Amino acid sequence: MTHTITSIREALRAKRFSAVEVTREALDFAERENPKTNAYLMLCPERALAAAAEVDRRLAAGEEAGALAGVPIAVKDVILTKGVRTTCASKMLENYIPPYDATAVERIEAAGGVIIGKTNCDEFAMGSSNENSYFGPVRNPAALDRVPGGSSGGSAAVVAQGTAVVSLGSDTGGSIRQPASFCGVVGVTPTYGRVSRYGLVAFASSLDHIGPFARNVKDSATLLGVMAGHDPMDSTSAAASVPDYAAHLDQNDVRGMKIGLPVEYMKHATGETADRIYEAIDKLRAMGCDVRDVSLPNTDYAIATYYVICTAEASSNLARYDGVRYGYRSADPGDADSNKLFAMYRNTRGESFGAEVKRRIMLGTYVLSHGYYDAYYLKAQKIRALIARDFTNAFQSVDALVAPVSPFPAFRLGEKVNDPVSMYLSDIYTITGSLAGIPCMSVPCGTDSGLPVGLQILCNHFEEQKMFRLAHAFETS
């Protein structure tokens, strides 16, 4: 499907097709194409067709059908959908049926959006390649022997493949921007707290975000606008009002906009990926932007800082999976002399978490354990403050920053799977923005070795509108 949110809106208005018809088309196409990529874990035709029928009813009655009327949308399988299985791509939650909807999902359906299925991802959103899924890896639609990136690999792939018009992902350290870059689509991580995390299965609570994937900047802005805004169900949700992100994108002018290029990022950038970024900068200059070097001096400490904080939070959040209230329970009763309840906890967790999830639980437990808390966790939180301060300082002199998303394009399946350190290092450019909680996005800017490359745009807290203006101008010029 090559539809956009705008093209579906116009077609529905002109009665060229109904919401039910476009939904059926999307479901059929997704079912046919999915074996190539394994991007969907599940389609939910019943829920989708009911939502589409409601859109058609509203249209026939002359009611407002909503900003996403009839748009087929895929949702990462770490976001809860009431009555529709939500697995987090884990054996632990293989049969979990949520009793409620995430706020983002509720808002999408209230705006006429049609959720057609749940997408594959790294288990509990932990990974950079989508190879950590219990249900098998996702293949990149741009090159089927390559990874789609991660952790939201399925959500990026369905949009690239055209089996959904837009999709939802989650981002903790780059899990939206990196797969968007690898698959050649637009991916947005909003300001921390801009979109409610209610119903997003927790990985690292101080870093988790929900955000959109789309094939163009305007669609990503529309989808973010529907989801954004205060939610009493999430105590970290921001109260600031939500501007109309998609409005006036076509009449914007970015002449005179001041753009910073972090020197610490570019010193590591090599090859064709770096060439594409420098070409993007030339293009921004030609558009009238004022591009200058800026310094983010604490960048080199970001990866270590991030992996201390995210694993600490993950080990705490994943303690809830104990085989009692939901999820898998081991049938192994343990040794005759062991405490039966603790044996059940240990066997349940040992049998149903994958290798990367176990690794992060272990690291997080270690850095939080007695005698190491101050040296690792508290220290990392202080360095996180320094990294955030780097951005605050930079945004005093520039409107936006541009950078690569990833040091390299999509790698081959299996290429990095046995080297966790190298896998973690690939997150270098996305982690800093996540730690600072600022809005950032990936917008396609060409290819490296024939594979998609994304340009990252970062702005200050709550300046999504400025970020979308720049991204849209870049995309259309």
- Residues 229, 231, 232, CA angle at the centre, nearest 5°? 150
Which one of the listed residues 76, 118, 218, 466 is annotated catalytic?
76
Sign of the CA dihedral running 208, 209, 212, 213: negative
Q: How many CB atoms lie within 10 A of CB 430?
A: 29
Q: Tell me whether strands 258-262 and 400-404 are parallel, antiparallel or unpaired.
A: parallel
Stretch 97-116 residues interacting with another protein (CB under 8 A): 97, 99-100
Three-state DSSP state, 66: coil
Stretch 172-211 residues interacting with another protein (CB under 8 A): 192-193, 206
Confirm if 234 and 453 have CB atoms less than 8 A apart: no
CA-to-CA distance for 360 and 357, rounded, in angstroms? 5
Stretch 226-245 residues interacting with another protein (CB under 8 A): 230, 232-233, 235-240
Confirm if 149 and 179 have CB atoms less than 8 A apart: yes
Structure tokens given for 300? 């080199």
Nearest Cα neighbor of 93 from 223, 201, 18, 246 is: 201
Minimum Å gap between C-beta 95 and another protein is 8
Question: Toward another protein, which CB reaches closer, 15 or 382?
Answer: 382
Residue 134 as a binder of another protein (CB under 8 A): the answer is no
Question: Toward another protein, which CB reaches closer, 155 or 305?
Answer: 305
Sign of the CA dihedral running 256, 262, 263, 266: negative
CA-to-CA distance for 206 and 389, rounded, in angstroms? 17
Sign of the CA dihedral running 472, 243, 227, 32: negative
> Binding segment for another protein among 63-71, 164-172, 369-377, 441-449 (CB under 8 A)?
369-377
Choose, by CB under 8 A, the member of 263, 341, 476, 477 that binds another protein.
341
Q: What is the DSSP letter of 185?
A: S
Q: Kindly determine how many residues on this chain lie close enough to bind another protein according to the rule CB under 8 A.
A: 79
Choose, by CB under 8 A, the member of 28, 136, 375, 412 that binds another protein.
375
Question: Toward another protein, which CB reaches closer, 124 or 474?
Answer: 124
Minimum Å gap between C-beta 171 and another protein is 13
Minimum Å gap between C-beta 424 and another protein is 7
Stretch 342-361 residues interacting with another protein (CB under 8 A): 342-347, 349-351, 353, 355, 358-359, 361
Q: How many residues does the chain have?
A: 477
Q: Which residues contact 419 (CB under 8 A, 6 or more apart)?
A: none
Q: Tell me whether strands 209-214 and 186-189 are parallel, antiparallel or unpaired.
A: antiparallel
Confirm if 73 and 4 have CB atoms less than 8 A apart: no
Which one of the listed residues 152, 167, 170, 175 is annotated catalytic?
175
Choose, by CB under 8 A, the member of 45, 94, 229, 301 that binds another protein.
301
Is 175 an annotated catalytic residue? yes
Question: Toward another protein, which CB reaches closer, 22 or 394?
Answer: 394
Choose, by CB under 8 A, the member of 127, 262, 327, 354 that binds another protein.
327
Which one of the listed residues 18, 128, 129, 151 is annotated catalytic?
151
CA-to-CA distance for 134 and 145, rounded, in angstroms? 19
Minimum Å gap between C-beta 22 and another protein is 33
Minimum Å gap between C-beta 358 and another protein is 6
Question: Toward another protein, which CB reaches closer, 29 or 326?
Answer: 326
Choose, by CB under 8 A, the member of 248, 340, 449, 476 that binds another protein.
340
Sheet with strand 258-262: strands edge to edge: 40-43, 114-119, 72-76, 166-171, 209-214, 186-189, 440-448, 451-458, 400-404, 258-262, 290-294
Question: Toward another protein, which CB reaches closer, 205 or 447?
Answer: 205
CA-to-CA distance for 20 and 267, rounded, in angstroms? 51
Stretch 61-100 residues interacting with another protein (CB under 8 A): 95-97, 99-100
Single-letter amino acid, residue 104:
A
Stretch 236-295 residues interacting with another protein (CB under 8 A): 236-240
Question: Toward another protein, which CB reaches closer, 29 or 366?
Answer: 366
Choose, by CB under 8 A, the member of 362, 412, 414, 477 that binds another protein.
362
Minimum Å gap between C-beta 322 and another protein is 7
Stretch 398-457 residues interacting with another protein (CB under 8 A): 420-421, 424, 436-437
Residue 322 as a binder of another protein (CB under 8 A): the answer is yes
Half-sphere exposure of 225 (CA within 13 A, CB side): 18
Minimum Å gap between C-beta 268 and another protein is 15
Q: Which residues are catalytic?
A: 76, 151, 175
